[in-house]
Every structure is written in C-alpha cells, then in structure tokens.
Amino acid sequence: MKTHVYISLSSLLFFTLLISCTKKEPVSINEEEVIDRVVVELTNSNTNAKTTHTWNEGDTSLAISLVKGERYRASVYFYNATDPSDIEDITEEVREEADEHFVFYEIASDNQLAITTASNDTKDSSGNAIGLQTQWEAKERGTTLVRLYLIHEPSSKSGSSRNDFGGETDAQIDLNITVE
C-alpha cells in the first residue's frame, strides 16, 4: 500500500512540474509610436505659396504667421526622427488606422482663425474626417494659441475640447498663430 501511494504522489508531483514548466506564449505588446517631429504645411489658396513649419521635441511651441483675409490649405505630418539617418513617417500609419486616430485643433480664440475639415481629408469607416487635411481662414489681426492633438483610440470624434474625445494623446503641440 505504501508503494502505491508513493507512485501516485510522485506522478502528481511530476505532472505539476510539467504543467508549471510549460512554455507560455508571450503577450503581444502594441508599443506606441515615438512622435518627436510634427510638420504643418500651409498653402495659400490664392497664391499657392507654400510654407513649412517644423516642430521638434523639446521646442516649446511653433510660431506661424498668416495674412488677414487669406485662406490656407493645411496638412499635418507626424514623424519619428530619433534616428536622423532613418526618419520614419508615422502619418501613413495614422491614415491606415483612421478608425483609431483623430487630429484635434483646440483654438483659444476663434476671432483670429477658423479651422474646418478639407474635402480631401482621410476619413474613417464611419465617414468622419480625421484632421490631417484642413482649411484655415485668417479672420482678424491678432494672436491666438492653437493646441494640436493627435489622439489615439478616441471614444468620440466630435467635441469642442480635448476632454470630449477620450483616448490617449500621441502628440500635442502648441501653435502660436499671428494674423497680420
């Protein structure tokens, strides 16, 4: 009888060790992209003059001058520039994952500037424009702050402040707009 119990206990111990040593599948982690450069490209709708404004991580803000009464086509691009010899354009990933991204422009004072969706903007599967292509109208002389956000997995794509959208902020930059 002792032998039988000994074999059962050793079998139980063996199977316990076998189960605990089974190789487990690694957990897949979807790392967030590094975004350390944002480029805002503005094209004057009347003259087709193009200006490019680049923000790099560490910059406090980006200064942009506009002319009163002019309209501009605006495009925003996101980059990972941690390796200067291999700068990665994150914008294409944002386009491909349109359901999971949204660019929001929070304007401190809409007296100076109006920003609207451009007809050629990328749309998500619900038909919502994601904000990579916009139209800017310089309305009145003065200055205003525009805070640009790239939001990952927003819970909503409508609202008037950053808190209305939920999700995570992938990038946030301040645009100091002067309308002359």
CATH of the domain at 125: 2.60.40
Which pLDDT score is estimated for 44? 97
Q: Give yes or no for residue 158 having a pLDDT over 80.
A: yes
Average pLDDT of the residues in 13-21: 47
Domain assignment of residue 66, yes or no: yes
What tens digit of pLDDT does each residue of 33-53 get?
A: 799 999 999 999 999 999 999
Amino acid at position 89, single letter? D
Domain assignment of residue 100, yes or no: yes
Domain assignment of residue 14, yes or no: no
Domain assignment of residue 126, yes or no: yes
Which pLDDT score is estimated for 109? 82
Q: Give yes or no for residue 19 having a pLDDT over 50.
A: no
Domain assignment of residue 123, yes or no: yes
Domain assignment of residue 15, yes or no: no
Mean pLDDT score of the chain: 87
How many Å apart are CA 149 and CA 129, to the nearest integer? 15
Domain assignment of residue 20, yes or no: no
Q: With contact defined as beta carbons under 8 Å apart, do 113 and 121 qualify?
A: no
Give the structural domain span for 162: 35-179
Token pair recorded at residue 149 = 């956000």
Q: With contact defined as beta carbons under 8 Å apart, do 136 and 71 qualify?
A: yes
How many Å apart are CA 50 and CA 25, to the nearest integer? 51
Q: How many domains does the chain have?
A: 1
Which pLDDT score is estimated for 31? 54
Q: Give yes or no for residue 27 having a pLDDT over 50.
A: no
Domain assignment of residue 27, yes or no: no
